[in-house]
Chain A
């Protein structure tokens, strides 16, 4: 039972990480109708910049702020240089261009920081673990990640429901023509939303840095999962991103934790291990397929 609770917590924490990625991606997708494969690159760059700053300054907070600032600026710059032209293009051309950005970024970080993964440790204040329940120790940093996720979710809720910018965003994700009618400076809005998306991806990267290996190509493993999340949740919906992220995080984690054992009940030895590993990898795709078969536009559809 304790083990199950712990795995549930692991799933939740993984889901929060996915939510940080997915919220930015779904906003950009929903409002600008832009398929941005390079979202994972912002995640990677966030982790690299933070790791580099922490290594030279020794301060995690400085690294966090530096990474957020640098990535947001980079995001806005890329938006103005490349994406502005892409909004009017179809999804395929966006995929091609952002695929090019991925290749460039993956190589660029290797040229700048070398080929070895970077060192990035947990800040001293958040190291160690706490006993949540008798027998259930949980790393403090991961609890911190969950906390950050909750804060971001509340922030986005307030931003979208209580501010003028949020009103424009809401209008934009349901009806693109309406924002222009509202007298909103669309160019500025797009740049801001894109910068916000990049910033959230970088935040996810900084959160992931101390847990994962900071290396070139780290964005791709999470990118596909992020797309799965926003599609399950419904494109353009922050609520959907949250629900989808937690769902995917929990299903993936529980699948990995318990699928091999389930398989071992049915099959024997090596075959069970192989099948278990394969099935747990497949699980989230199966989940997405089932959701889309019954709800072809995701759980929470923003438009209409």
Chain B
């Protein structure tokens, strides 16, 4: 892993010492010290705070998000858009409470200028409103629950990734196009799961045989698979993020169901790291994504190569989104010359999205969520025995989310 001093990870040493010092030497000394410090340092870099999930089961997701963002900063030699930045990364462990606490520290103690990241919707629901309340900009790099695109949309909130429903909508559209007459739907029993199936049904025109919501930490899906076999649908669409999806797909394949009923899912369950854990069980499965490593967009191949060189593994969707988020922030910083005080100018610069996305065409809708193309990919086996995705077709051209009309921006 490349060592770069300007990227302090999960760096809060300053914050920690700031908290320990008072007990040691008293207030006056600290005040004197800090005033000395502020005169010594000339140009303060722009401080970016990233909250993501680095530990627990979702840890690999956050790792890719962090590394994708870091790559952009490293390519700019510690700056984004020519403006020096300092990146603070912290681990929310997938816990909204913890995320909230980190946000408070980053804002009040570290005095960050802008916030980015956040892997999971529940953490976003807890953290984002308070960040916006404090007048900061938030540039989301993954989680995009429906309220932020609709009723709760905010002039200072941007999401570079997508709106949560997008990939599921694409799959619904694809299955309709391909003429699948009936489908069996599966998602975990939580809001993102319900949004997923709602999104799918928004574009799917056939019959929904059954809609099953599983327990959040369900690991054995034998009962469900038996049910699918008994129901005989034309296709199965499932949204089970992370390890849940690994469990399900492995068990589905082991039950010999893959040849009986075709299975489809959003790209979340088919990134290259998870494919390593699933193996042959995933081969041939169609899935949807707004990005893939073989997209012909300018700079995409270079990004994939640079990421592989830097970290020794291929980037996932999450890395690509974070890389885009970094470059978007860079484009805005460049436009306002690193001065974040003029909120209107920053907002205009972010909205312009004047950066080259590794996805290709990209622009923001009025609710600050992307209008973009969404593709269907297929899992293939590479010559070296590993698995990857091949882009098959474009399902949506310039797709926008379903909540934009609810947003009064």
Contact string, A7-37, partner B, CB cutoff 8 A, digits 1/0?
1001101100100000000000000000000
* B279 contacts A by Cβ under 8 Å: yes
Smallest CB gap from A138: residue in B: B255
Smallest CB gap from A280: residue in B: B215
Chain A residues within 8 Å of B105, by CB: none
When chains A and B are docked, how far (Å) is the Cα of A10 from the Cα of B220?
9
A256 and B224 contact, Cβ closer than 8 Å, known pairs A128-B256, A211-B251: yes
Q: Min CB distance, A5 to chain B, in Å?
A: 10
Q: Min CB distance, A247 to chain B, in Å?
A: 16
CB pair A217 B256 closer than 8 Å = no
Query: Which B215-235 residues have a C-beta within 8 angstroms of A?
Result: 215, 217-220, 222-224, 226-227, 229-230
Chain B residues within 8 Å of A268, by CB: none
* A278 contacts B by Cβ under 8 Å: yes
When chains A and B are docked, how far (Å) is the Cα of A257 from the Cα of B228?
11
* B177 contacts A by Cβ under 8 Å: no
A253 and B230 contact, Cβ closer than 8 Å, known pairs A116-B277, A215-B57, A215-B243: no
Smallest CB gap from A215: residue in B: B243
Chain B residues within 8 Å of A281, by CB: 189, 215
CB pair A116 B222 closer than 8 Å = no
* B55 contacts A by Cβ under 8 Å: yes
Smallest CB gap from A51: residue in B: B277
CB pair A6 B247 closer than 8 Å = no
Q: Min CB distance, A20 to chain B, in Å?
A: 14
When chains A and B are docked, how far (Å) is the Cα of A270 from the Cα of B217?
20
When chains A and B are docked, how far (Å) is the Cα of A260 from the Cα of B211?
10
CB pair B60 A116 closer than 8 Å = yes
CB pair A117 B274 closer than 8 Å = yes
Q: Min CB distance, B283 to chain A, in Å?
A: 12
Smallest CB gap from B56: residue in A: A217
* B195 contacts A by Cβ under 8 Å: no
* A110 contacts B by Cβ under 8 Å: yes
CB pair B278 A7 closer than 8 Å = no
Smallest CB gap from B54: residue in A: A115
CB pair A137 B247 closer than 8 Å = no
CB pair A216 B59 closer than 8 Å = yes
Max chain A Cβ within 10 angstroms of own Cβ: one of B194, B218, B251, B277: B277
Smallest CB gap from A209: residue in B: B250
CB pair A110 B55 closer than 8 Å = yes
Contact string, B268-300, partner A, CB cutoff 8 A, digits 1/0?
000001101111100000000000000000000
* B254 contacts A by Cβ under 8 Å: yes
Chain B interface mostly:
helix
* A118 contacts B by Cβ under 8 Å: yes
- The segment out of A86-94, A119-127, A173-181, A291-299 that lies at the interface is A119-127
Chain A residues within 8 Å of B255, by CB: 129, 137, 139
Q: Min CB distance, B261 to chain A, in Å?
A: 13
CB pair A216 B57 closer than 8 Å = yes
Chain A residues within 8 Å of B250, by CB: 210-213
A3 and B220 contact, Cβ closer than 8 Å, known pairs A107-B55, A110-B55, A116-B60: no
Query: Which A194-235 residues have a C-beta within 8 angstroms of B?
Result: 210-218, 221-222
Q: Min CB distance, A163 to chain B, in Å?
A: 34
CB pair A211 B220 closer than 8 Å = yes
* B125 contacts A by Cβ under 8 Å: no
Query: Which B199-221 residues have a C-beta within 8 angstroms of A?
Result: 211-215, 217-220
Q: Min CB distance, A54 to chain B, in Å?
A: 12
A213 and B246 contact, Cβ closer than 8 Å, known pairs A128-B256, A273-B211, A281-B215: yes
Q: Min CB distance, B142 to chain A, in Å?
A: 16
CB pair A277 B213 closer than 8 Å = yes
Interface size on B (CB < 8 Å)? 42
* B63 contacts A by Cβ under 8 Å: yes
CB pair B189 A142 closer than 8 Å = no
Chain A residues within 8 Å of B59, by CB: 110, 115, 216
Chain A residues within 8 Å of B276, by CB: 116, 119
When chains A and B are docked, how far (Å) is the Cα of A203 from the Cα of B212?
31
Query: Which A31-74 residues have a C-beta within 8 angstroms of B?
Result: none
When chains A and B are docked, how far (Å) is the Cα of A137 from the Cα of B255?
8
CB pair A212 B273 closer than 8 Å = no
CB pair B222 A141 closer than 8 Å = no
Q: Min CB distance, A15 to chain B, in Å?
A: 11
Chain B residues within 8 Å of A260, by CB: 212-213
Query: Which B38-79 residues have a C-beta within 8 angstroms of A?
Result: 54-57, 59-60, 63
Taking a contact as CB atoms closer than 8 A, the residue among B57, B227, B246, B273 that contacts A3 in the complex is B227
A221 and B219 contact, Cβ closer than 8 Å, known pairs A211-B247, A216-B56: yes
CB pair A277 B189 closer than 8 Å = yes
Q: Min CB distance, A212 to chain B, in Å?
A: 5
When chains A and B are docked, how far (Å) is the Cα of A213 from the Cα of B213?
20
Q: Min CB distance, B352 to chain A, in Å?
A: 35
CB pair A213 B277 closer than 8 Å = yes
CB pair B217 A221 closer than 8 Å = yes
* A161 contacts B by Cβ under 8 Å: no
Q: Min CB distance, A279 to chain B, in Å?
A: 11
Q: Min CB distance, B202 to chain A, in Å?
A: 15
When chains A and B are docked, how far (Å) is the Cα of A76 from the Cα of B244?
32
CB pair B219 A212 closer than 8 Å = yes
Q: Min CB distance, B252 to chain A, in Å?
A: 10
CB pair A13 B222 closer than 8 Å = yes
14 additional A-B pairs beyond A139-B256, A142-B254, A215-B57, beta carbons within 8 Å, are A6-B226, A110-B59, A114-B60, A117-B243, A119-B276, A119-B279, A129-B255, A212-B220, A216-B57, A221-B219, A273-B212, A276-B213, A277-B213, A281-B189
Chain A interface residues toward B at CB < 8 A? 2-3, 6-7, 10-11, 13-14, 17, 106-107, 110, 114-119, 121-122, 127-129, 137, 139, 141-142, 210-218, 221-222, 253-254, 256-257, 260, 270, 273-274, 276-278, 280-281
7 A-B pairs with least C-beta separation: A213-B246, A213-B243, A115-B60, A10-B222, A117-B277, A277-B189, A115-B59
22 pairs of residues in contact across A and B, judged by CB atoms under 8 Å: A6-B226, A107-B55, A114-B60, A116-B276, A117-B242, A119-B279, A129-B254, A139-B255, A210-B250, A211-B220, A211-B250, A212-B243, A213-B246, A213-B247, A213-B277, A215-B57, A253-B222, A253-B223, A260-B212, A273-B211, A277-B215, A281-B189
Chain B interface residues toward A at CB < 8 A? 54-57, 59-60, 63, 189, 194, 211-215, 217-220, 222-224, 226-227, 229-230, 242-244, 246-247, 250-251, 254-256, 273-274, 276-280
